[in-house]
Amino acid sequence: MPRLTAIAPEAAEGKSKTLLEGVKAQLGMAPNLMQTMAHSPAVLDAYLKFSGTLAEGVLSNQNREQIALTVGEANQCGYCLAAHATLGKMAGLNPEQITENRAGTDADPSTAALLSFSRRILEKKGFVSDQDVQDVRDAGHDDAAIAEVVANVALNIFTNYFNHVADTEIDFPEVEPLNAQGAACCHTEGSTCA
């Protein structure tokens, strides 16, 4: 059972209601993550602005979804894995890519470098080496892309941790765990996750 409940758009008030209605108009639904964030209009607004601004950056939508899958797997966030597997498919990722991206790799060397760098940021808590940065540059990425990888990792850490704390109910098709630890916060009926 979720620790923080989702607030349906029609039950929300004030700024949260306006924000959720905007999400619903754009996506056709207001995901449980955002409905749960709606307890604090400041949290929901910050999330929407941060993710919306990053969508205007140099990284493609596909790259942002790939980073989200890598970070979600590393942080064992079942909600984010389910959401970003769905959004990744919508961005053109095939099932094999989604599995590879969750593991922090990709058949394309340029994308693999972004995902490897994302993992290094997580593993080293941001204290990456000069070589880590050089590896991303050698794969063809400039400083703008490197800055956006850091920002996308941070955004996804936020949503992963928010879901861990809230115990958000998953409202996307679940994904199977890649390893024995499985993905966390799997709370849908008939869940097979650990």
Task: Give 180 or 191, the one with higher predicted confidence.
Answer: 180
pLDDT of residue 181: 59
pLDDT of residue 166: 98
Report residue 123: phi and psi, to 5°: -60, -35
| Alpha carbon distance 151, 57 (integer Å) | 11
What angle separates helix 130-138 from helix 109-123, to the nearest 10 degrees?
160
- In the DSSP assignment, the letter for residue 87 is H
**Confidence check: pLDDT of 194 > 50:** no
Residues 160 and 194 in one domain: yes
Residues 165 and 82 in one domain: yes
Model pLDDT for residues 3-49, shown as the tens digit of each residue: 999 999 999 999 999 999 999 999 999 999 999 999 999 999 999 99
Residues 194 and 156 in one domain: yes
Confidence band of 193 (pLDDT split at 50, 70, 90) = very low
CA angle 39, 172, 107 (to 5 degrees): 120
pLDDT of residue 177: 86
120 is in which domain, residue-wise? 60-194
Confidence band of 191 (pLDDT split at 50, 70, 90) = very low
Residues 108 and 178 in one domain: yes
Tokens standing for residue 58 = 């140099």
Residues 114 and 185 in one domain: yes
- In the DSSP assignment, the letter for residue 4 is S
Region of 140 please: left (phi>0), alpha (psi -120 to 50) or beta: left
pTM: 0.93
Q: What is the CATH number of the domain that holds 131?
A: 1.20.1290.10
Residue with tokens 């997580």: 122
pLDDT of residue 183: 62
**Confidence check: pLDDT of 187 > 70:** no
pLDDT of residue 47: 99
| Alpha carbon distance 168, 186 (integer Å) | 8
pLDDT of residue 164: 98
Model pLDDT for residues 67-120, shown as the tens digit of each residue: 999 999 999 999 999 999 999 999 999 999 999 999 999 999 999 999 999 999
The percentage of residues in the chain with a pLDDT greater than 90, rounded to a whole number, is 90
Residues 139 and 165 in one domain: yes
Contact criterion met (CB below 8 Å) for 9 and 20: yes
3 state DSSP class of 138: helix
